[in-house]
């Protein structure tokens, strides 16, 4: 696909494939087009040209709520939780959106299965003990993990994480890597990440974007050794 903003090609004839159950990273310098790529996958943005197929189905023209119901979820580069709702409410609304649409009026006790799903999602991201705390009162790292919980509550089969460890301490980053490992069972994961250690530890395959084009694609080891990648990206 190609995405143009006026004269700028944020993505230029990008051809990318992810296989079921793979954990893949998309890396590249600032402005390479990584978030734009996620925006297209999740229907936030429509590509200027090209197609997006999910399980063989063309989803290019679908709105984001329909794409969510097909099983694609994402977390945002900048934390995107509802600060004045509790951790549980944040994930419950997402769990509900999958089944019943965004019906904010229905009382939550009407959907016991949804509460169970929401609690399960919180447990997966290690926040069940903080279920009743306002999202605003969680630490930055906890809010980022809550956002992963929100994405999981929609029961995705493809999870797109945009810089999940951004702004985290080393200890929080370590915990989030463990978290992503845990959820990677039965889930296809695409991850945009600047922390090379995180990427090398987690991913089967790495795609390098550079000025909207794919510069390289391979295993972590192949990417580490690729001279073009070293020149534009890994060189410090």
Binding residues (CB under 6 A) for ligand ATP: these are: 5, 8, 10, 28, 30-36, 77
User: b/e map of 51-89 (b: 16 or more CB within 10 Å)?
Assistant: ebebeeeebbebeeeebbeebbbbbbeebebeeeebbbb
Q: What, of Mg ion, ligand ATP, none, does residue 87 touch, CB below 5 to 8 Å by kind?
A: none
Strands 158-162 and 72-75, bridge-based pairing: parallel
Q: Please, which residue, 33 or 156, has the CB nearer to ligand ATP?
A: 33
- DSSP 8-state assignment for residue 44: S
At its nearest, how many Å lie between ligand ATP and the CB of residue 185? 27
At its nearest, how many Å lie between Mg ion and the CB of residue 27? 11
Q: Please, which residue, 38 or 111, has the CB nearer to Mg ion?
A: 38
At its nearest, how many Å lie between Mg ion and the CB of residue 28? 9
At its nearest, how many Å lie between Mg ion and the CB of residue 58? 25
One DSSP character per residue, 204-227 reads SEEEEEETTEEEEEE-HHHHHH-H
Q: By the criterion CB under 5 A, which residues form the site for Mg ion? A: 34-35, 77
Q: Please, which residue, 44 or 85, has the CB nearer to ligand ATP?
A: 44
- Cα torsion through 115, 118, 124, 128, rounded to 10: -70
């Amino acid at each position: 696909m190609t995405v143009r903003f006026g004269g700028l090609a944020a993505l230029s004839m990008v051809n990318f494939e992810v296989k079921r159950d793979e954990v893949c990273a998309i890396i590249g310098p600032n402005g390479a087009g990584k978030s734009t790529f996620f925006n297209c996958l999740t229907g936030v943005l429509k590509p200027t040209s090209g197609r997006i197929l999910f399980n063989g189905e063309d989803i290019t023209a679908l709105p984001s709520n329909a794409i969510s119901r097909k099983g694609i979820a994402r977390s945002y580069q900048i934390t995107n939780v509802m600060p004045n709702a509790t951790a549980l409410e944040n994930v419950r609304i997402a769990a509900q959106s999958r089944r019943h649409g965004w019906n904010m009026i229905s009382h939550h006790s009407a959907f016991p299965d949804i509460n169970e799903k929401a609690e399960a999602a919180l447990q997966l991201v290690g926040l069940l003990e903080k279920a009743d705390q306002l999202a605003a009162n969680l630490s930055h790292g906890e809010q980022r993990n809550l956002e992963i919980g929100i994405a999981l509550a929609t029961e995705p089969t493809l999870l797109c994480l945009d810089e999940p460890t951004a702004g985290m301490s080393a200890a929080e980053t370590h915990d989030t890597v463990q978290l992503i490992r845990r959820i990677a069972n039965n889930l296809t994961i695409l991850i945009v990440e600047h922390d090379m250690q995180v990427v090398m530890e987690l991913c089967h395959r790495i795609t390098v974007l550079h000025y909207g084009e794919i510069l390289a694609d391979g295993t972590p080891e192949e990417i580490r050794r690729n001279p073009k990648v070293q020149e534009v990206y890994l060189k410090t």
